Each structure stands twice: as structure tokens, then as C-alpha cells.
Amino acid sequence: MENEFSYEDYQKTAGWLLSRIEHQPQVAVICGSGLGSLADRVTKAKIFDYSEIPNFPRSTVPGHAGRLVFGLLENKPCVVMQGRFHLYEGYSLLKVTFPVRVFRLLGVDTLVVTNAAGGLNPDFEVGDIMLIRDHINLPGFSGQNPLRGPNEDRFGVRFPPMSDAYDQDLRQSAHNIWKEIKDRRKLQEGTYVMLAGPNFETVAESQMLRILGADAVGMSTVPEVIVARHCGLRVFGLSLITNKVILSYESREKASHEEVLEAGKQAAEKLEEFVSRFVSSIEPVCTK
């Protein structure tokens, strides 16, 4: 399979953006469903619709504004994606992850990924925040991997390790910040599993995912993380638990995207404060 994008395509997009922004970003934040209001906290903002950026796909999902916002978040130079791309929209994983490699060429050293997810862990409540400690890439089991095809050595090695995908030091920093916020709920931590979507899970599938060790389930994030680690970015991930996954045939409840967006709206202020404080605490990666 030939790659859809050449190294020069990524360079073209990065160059187009660099010529139009004032602050070169150190941190990139990808906002999941209903979480895009974080970008409202960016000061000295320079905003681009995805439609005007060379090679960028278009976001088609409700709750994803489809804008790239550059500026300062708590005085930290950053870029915020208001809306991501998904496999279920019909995009290839190379298109889904295209922005991540562009961020690397912009000078970003740390990627923060957020998502709305269903809670599989029975201890989780709607509105909880789960730091992602690890992930299970179910589409990858069937060959759906963003690194499939010829390797681009200028980004990374052919066989990148994923045992340290989510930075441990950043997670510890997040726990310290959460203690300062003093929320009534503790900051959760666990394993995120990705399904291709767009349908929500059957009861049998949900039970299987729990047996596999997953604490939360969603339809995104993992491809971006794989590409970020491939090209040397640090990664910090979190899930907002927007619904409790149906694990019993006796339940009369049904998952819906409207429920996901409403839960995101309810938790927005808490999440924005937490992520803003966290981003401001991120120190640049030291290069030897």
C-alpha cells in the first residue's frame, strides 16, 4: 500500500501554517466530542478552519467544530484541534493522523489527546476523568494501523515500541494538579480500548472488552497516539466518561451521541480548568 502523503506534503502544510502564526506551539491538544470549548481559553488566538488548510481532512461529526486554534493557553504556546477525524467517517488512518505529523514539523514536543468515552469500569461515574495509562488497539488486530505501508524514516523507526506510549511523569503531574483542584471525585486511571464505530457496543462486546481489561471504550485516540510516538512526541491522554456502558441484558438504557455531548457540556468547566492547568505545567522536552 502506498502512503497517501509524502514527507513533502506534511512539510507543505506545516510551512503554510508557520507562515501565518505568531507563536510556534510546544503543546498540541486534540479535543474529543463536546470538549472543543477548551479552545475558548486560548489567548492571542489565530484560528483556521480545516477547510482552508492544505491537505487537511474535514470534520463531519456533531460536537467537532473543525478548527485549528493557535495561541497561548495559560501562557503556554499551543495548538488546539477543535474536532478530530475518525475511521468511521470514511477516512483512512493516514488522514485521521495527518495533523499529528504536521504538529511534529511545527515544533510540538508533547501531544495531549482527549476523548469522550463510555465507562466499562463499574467504579466509574458519568463525569469522571480517566487518565489513559494504556490502550488496546482492536482495529489494529485486523491490520488497521496508521503505520501500515512503507515507513518514513524521517519521522521514526519501522517498529516503534508502545509499552511506554503514555508518559508516566506527565500522569503523575496530572494527579498533583487534580489534588489542587479538590474535586469530590478522584482522578481515575485506566486502559482505553478503541473500536472502529460508529455504532455503540453490544452487551456481549462490552462484556468481552471488560474481560480484556479495558476501563473505558471509544472510537478514536489510539491512531493519533501511535503516530505521535512513532515521530517522537510525548503523549498524555485522558477520557471524559460520558456514559456508562451497558453490560447487562436487563438494562433498558441505550447509549446515544446526544448523551455524550450533554455529559461533555456538564463537565466542560471542570475539564477546561484541569487541562489548562496541566498544559501550563508541561516543561519542554530536553534534547541532548
Percent of the chain with pLDDT over 90: 75
Would you say 272 and 36 are in contact if contact means Cβ atoms under 8 Å apart? no
Identify the pLDDT of residue 271: 86
Question: What are the catalytic residues?
Answer: 33, 64, 86, 88-89, 116, 219-220, 243, 257
Amino acid (one-letter) located at 178: W
Among 2.40.128.280, 3.40.50.2300, 3.50.50.60, 3.40.50.1580, what is the CATH number of 21-281? Answer: 3.40.50.1580
Q: What count of Cα atoms within 13 Å lies in the side-chain half-sphere of residue 168?
A: 3
Identify the pLDDT of residue 287: 54
Q: Nearest CA to 108 among 233, 244, 243, 230? A: 233
Query: If you write DSSP's letter for every residue of the chain in order, what string do you get?
Result: ---SS-HHHHHHHHHHHHTT-SS--SEEEEE-TT-GGGGGG-EEEEEEEGGGSTT-----STT---EEEEEEETTEEEEEEES---GGGT--HHHHTHHHHHHHHHT--EEEEEEEEEE-STT--TT-EEEEEEEEEHHHHTT--TT-SS--TTT--SS---TT-S-HHHHHHHHHHHHHHT-SSPPEEEEEEE---SSPPPHHHHHHHHHHT-SEEESSSHHHHHHHHHTT-EEEEEEEEEEE----TT------HHHHHHHHHHHHHHHHHHHHHHHHHPPPPP--
Whether the per-residue pLDDT at 153 is higher than 80: the answer is yes
Per domain, the residue ranges of the chain are: 21-281
The whole-angstrom separation of Cα 252 and Cα 51 is 41
Would you say 268 and 33 are in contact if contact means Cβ atoms under 8 Å apart? no
Pick the range with the lowest mean pLDDT from 6-10, 74-78, 205-209, 267-271.
267-271
262 vs 39, which has greater pLDDT?
Answer: 39
Identify the pLDDT of residue 288: 44
Query: If you write DSSP's letter for every residue of 171-237 in order, what string do you get?
Result: HHHHHHHHHHHT-SSPPEEEEEEE---SSPPPHHHHHHHHHHT-SEEESSSHHHHHHHHHTT-EEEE
Whether the per-residue pLDDT at 168 is higher than 80: the answer is yes
How high is the mean pLDDT of the chain?
92
Question: pLDDT confidence of 248, banded at 50, 70, 90?
Answer: confident
Question: What predicted TM-score, i.e. pTM, was given to this entire model?
Answer: 0.94
234-244 and 129-137 beta bridge pairing: antiparallel
pLDDT tens, residue by residue, 184-237: 889 999 999 999 999 999 999 999 999 999 999 999 999 999 999 999 999 999
Q: What count of Cα atoms within 13 Å lies in the side-chain half-sphere of residue 93?
A: 22
Q: What is the mean pLDDT of the segment spanning 143-168?
A: 97
Question: pLDDT confidence of 64, banded at 50, 70, 90?
Answer: low
Identify the pLDDT of residue 1: 46
Would you say 177 and 281 are in contact if contact means Cβ atoms under 8 Å apart? yes
Q: Is the link from the previous residue into 57 a cis peptide, with omega within 30 of 0?
A: no
- b vs e for 256-282, b when ≥16 Cβ sit within 10 Å of the residue's Cβ? ebebbbebbeebbeebbebbbbbbeeb
pLDDT tens, residue by residue, 18-61: 999 998 999 999 998 767 788 889 999 999 999 999 999 887 77
Identify the pLDDT of residue 62: 66
Identify the pLDDT of residue 204: 97
